[in-house]
Amino acid sequence: MSSDILSANPVVRAVIEGTAPRPAQLAASNGLLPLPQTDVLEILAAFANGVDDELKNNAAATLRAQDAISLEETVRADNVPPSALAFYASEIDMPSTLHEAILTNPRTPPSAIARFAAATPNGSLLELIAVNQQLLIQNPRIIDAIIANPNRTAEAERRAVEVKREFFEKERGAEQIANELRARGQEAAAEFFERSDSDLSIDDAIFLAEHIEVPDSETDDSWLALDWIEEIYEETEEQRQATVTKILGELQIEGQDIGAERLSMINRIMKMSVKDRVRLGMKGDREARNVLIRDPNRLVSQAVVQNPRITEQEVESIAAMRSLSEDILRNIAANRQWSRSYPVMHNLARNPRTPIANVLTILSRLQLRDLVALSKNRNVSDAVRRQALRLHTARTGGAKR
């Protein structure tokens, strides 16, 4: 018990440890020793939790007899003994203002708050507890106590349920999915879903896992830890459906088959958060990349071109896509590996979405027949056509095309 004594006063230690004379202990149990109130409360709480019946009964009665107004000020202090706070938290019939002071004091033991949450008839105080999300996350017993209390308000229940779903049920779900994937030998997919922010069912997760092939060791997505990604790119259900329609439309225009499995995959992908779609773009297989490169969110499509497994043939096709943002085409043009690919550079030059500055740099590398074609291509800008013509004229000495 000595290690639990907070007061530095040797009288307090002697009384609690039993080395003080019995009359001194009895006087202390009745609150008669001339000590600071925090010392008195520590002694009384220690006796109230002790095994000596006489001291226990005296101390409990003395604690209950404390003046409520002065006691409320004391329990708000940052040096009040936690044991005293726990005692008063267990006294359900005390004034609600006193309980409020106890519940908002960070020195109050979480176990005492859990017991209070299970027993209190005061729904407003349950709301006060439920507002403290950090407390609930660190002490899930309190969540269960709030939900089980028949006197809970709708607001207290809502907050407790949301924390439980967000921080515990989702975590257990992700763990179950990851274990199932590892049992199938899909380590990369297991890593993905252990870090997932999306509320995917196990069926959806297992289905999408077939399209995750890049392990964490091959990617650097530390920048995705930024909490504001979802806030900046908040999406409505209507926007998600519009994205599905856009992707399907582009695939149809390109003549790609849209079977039931691909349609299912697209719909399941769009259930994912923006952050998870970005990560899937960086870790997914060719089929996932083919879908996500068409996501109108440029973070998602940019992640696809950062995927370490993306092939030159894919980049060649991407360089010709007119639905991409200029930023992605600019990054492809600046990539040292892809800049060595003539088909990639040729497609960028013909793409009207490619920034003109990049196209003008690429033109000097194009073959004569491609310069001729570009000089006549009405889909590109006048500046590109004129520069293509100048370069062709300079190389051929003004020979007719």
pLDDT at 226 over 60: no
Report the SS3 class of residue 368: helix
Average pLDDT over residues 236-244: 89
> What contacts 24+ positions apart, CB below 8 Å, involve 203-207?
204/268, 204/271, 205/177, 205/181, 206/177, 206/180, 206/181, 207/264, 207/265, 207/268
pLDDT at 229 over 70: no
Domain boundary at 120, 140, 157, which?
157
pLDDT of the residue at 228:
57
pLDDT of the residue at 207:
87
Task: Please name every residue paired with 284 in a beta bridge, in sequence order, or none if there are none.
Answer: 212
Residue 365 lies in a domain: yes
Amino acid at 375: S
Domain boundary at 110, 137, 157, which?
157
**pLDDT per position as a tens digit, 336-378:** 999 999 999 999 999 999 999 999 999 999 999 999 999 999 9
Average pLDDT over residues 12-31: 92
Gap between the Cα atoms of 339 and 337, Å rounded: 6
CB 349 within 8 A of CB 359: yes
**pLDDT per position as a tens digit, 177-192:** 888 888 888 899 998 8
Closest alpha carbon to 314 in 298, 335, 293: 293
Task: Please name every residue paired with 265 in a beta bridge, in sequence order, or none if there are none.
Answer: none
Residue 57 lies in a domain: yes
Gap between the Cα atoms of 53 and 299, Å rounded: 68
243 pLDDT band, cuts 50/70/90, is very high
pLDDT of the residue at 265:
93
The separation between the first and the last C-alpha atoms of the chain, rounded to the nearest angstrom, is 100
**pLDDT per position as a tens digit, 263-295:** 999 999 999 988 899 999 999 999 999 999 999
Residue 241 lies in a domain: no
pLDDT of the residue at 8:
86
CB 91 within 8 A of CB 66: no
pLDDT at 259 over 90: no
Closest alpha carbon to 131 in 98, 163, 105: 163
pLDDT of the residue at 101:
94
pLDDT at 400 over 70: no
Task: Please name every residue paired with 212 in a beta bridge, in sequence order, or none if there are none.
Answer: 284
Gap between the Cα atoms of 173 and 160, Å rounded: 18
Domain hosting residue 364, numbered range: 321-401
pLDDT at 195 over 60: yes
Look up residue 331 and give its two tokens: 């990054």
Domain boundary at 157, 187, 202, which?
157
State the virtual CA torsion across 11, 16, 17, 22 in degrees, nearest 10. Answer: 80
Dihedral angle sign, alpha carbons of residues 306, 307, 308, 313: negative
Residue 60 lies in a domain: yes
164 pLDDT band, cuts 50/70/90, is confident
Average pLDDT over residues 32-54: 91
Q: How many domains is the chain built from? A: 2
